[in-house]
Structure 1
Amino acid sequence: MSHSMINGIEFQTVLEPDGNLGHWMRVDDALQRAAGISAGDTATVDIEMTADWSEPGIPPDLATALATAPLQIQSLWNEITPMARWEWVRWVNATRNPDTRRRRVDVSISKMQNGKRRPCCFNLSACTDPDLSKNGKLIESGDGHT
Structure 2
Amino acid sequence: MRPGPWKKAVHQSCPEAEFGEPVHPDRVADAEQRLGCRLPSQLADLLRETDGIVGHDGVDTVWTLGRIVEDNLRFWSDSGFAALYMPFQPFLFFGDNGGGDQFAFVRTPPRADIFVWEHEDDSRRWVAGDLRDYLGRSLADGDDDWYRHRT
Q: State if a TM-score over 0.5 links the two structures.
A: no
Larger helix percent? 2
Instruction: Give the TM-score taking structure 1 as reference length.
Output: 0.29
Higher relative CO (Cα under 8 Å, sequence separation at least 6) belongs to 1
Under a length normalisation based on structure 2, what TM-score does the superposition of the two structures give?
A: 0.28
Higher strand share: 2
